[in-house]
């Protein structure tokens, strides 16, 4: 997608996607049908955004990150490669998905470290999962339809439908498809605790 596709001061629709004029969509990004990318967000090269996914204001989507269909990425969230995001995933405001378990800017002798000096460890967020506002996912996975409470710091894999909260996040229960805490069986969606 060429940079000259954008008209300053106007929103631009690309292949039925909506891209705010202040968003930066790098070359080699694929935006599905009905995608919306709001003001000041950056989508890096090679990222693929599934149909009807919404990326809010001020988000960062790193290189080659795949995001499935119908996901919602709220304002200010940052997703670092090599993360992968499923379909129908809810990512609340100011969520961070990290990629470095051993972060250093320099080595012991002060040499500045570059991209070749580290091995990125990405996050995986499965279909239907929800990440509460301000949560941080530290190089781990969140299972399908799990719910991460606001402000949690997730350092270990989260099981499907698990409800986790705190720092470090711990499982305190289960949630159904409606994201209601469920002790036995949800009368609305029929999901049962395993």
Interaction site with Zn ion (CB under 5 A): 176, 178, 186, 188-189
Nearest-approach distance from CB 130 to Zn ion, in angstroms? 13
Query: Six-digit token pair at 103?
Result: 């972060």
The answer to whether 174 and 158 have CB atoms below 8 angstroms apart is no
Nearest-approach distance from CB 127 to Zn ion, in angstroms? 16
Task: Give whichever of 59 and 176 is closer to Zn ion, judged by the CB atom.
Answer: 176
What stretches of 34-182 adopt beta strand conformation (E)? Answer: 36-37, 42-43, 48-49, 54-55, 60-61, 66-67, 72-73, 78-79, 84-85, 90-91, 96-98, 124-125, 130-131, 136-138, 141-142, 147-148, 153-154, 162-165, 170-174
Task: Give whichever of 101 and 172 is closer to Zn ion, judged by the CB atom.
Answer: 172
Task: Give whichever of 56 and 88 is closer to Zn ion, judged by the CB atom.
Answer: 88
Nearest-approach distance from CB 171 to Zn ion, in angstroms? 18
DSSP state of 150: T
Q: Which of 175, 80, 75 is nearest to 130 (CA)?
A: 175
Torsion over CA: 181, 187, 188, 192 (sign): positive
Task: Give whichever of 40 and 177 is closer to Zn ion, judged by the CB atom.
Answer: 177
Task: Give whichever of 137 and 186 is closer to Zn ion, judged by the CB atom.
Answer: 186
| β partners of residue 32 | none
The answer to whether 129 and 144 have CB atoms below 8 angstroms apart is yes
Task: Give whichever of 98 and 182 is closer to Zn ion, judged by the CB atom.
Answer: 182
Nearest-approach distance from CB 159 to Zn ion, in angstroms? 17
Nearest-approach distance from CB 179 to Zn ion, in angstroms? 8
Nearest-approach distance from CB 72 to Zn ion, in angstroms? 19
């Amino acid at each position: 997608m060429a940079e000259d596709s954008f008209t300053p001061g106007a929103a631009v629709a690309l292949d039925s996607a909506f891209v705010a004029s202040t968003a930066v969509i790098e070359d080699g990004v694929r935006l599905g049908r009905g995608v919306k990318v709001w003001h000041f967000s950056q989508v890096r090269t090679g990222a693929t955004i599934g149909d009807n996914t919404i990326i809010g204001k001020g988000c960062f989507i790193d290189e080659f990150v795949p995001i499935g269909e119908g996901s919602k990425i709220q304002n200010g969230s940052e997703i670092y490669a090599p993360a992968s995001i499923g379909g129908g995933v809810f990512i609340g405001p100011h969520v961070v998905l990290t990629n470095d378990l051993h972060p250093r800017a320099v080595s012991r002798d002060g040499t500045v470290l570059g991209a070749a000096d580290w091995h990125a460890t990405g996050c995986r967020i499965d279909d239907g999962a929800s990440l509460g506002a301000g949560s941080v996912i530290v190089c781990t996975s969140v299972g399908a339809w799990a719910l991460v409470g606001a402000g949690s710091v997730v350092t270990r894999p989260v099981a499907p439908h698990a409800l986790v909260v705190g720092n470090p996040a711990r499982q305190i229960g289960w949630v159904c498809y409606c994201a209601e805490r469920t002790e036995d069986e949800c009368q609305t969606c029929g999901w049962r605790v395993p």
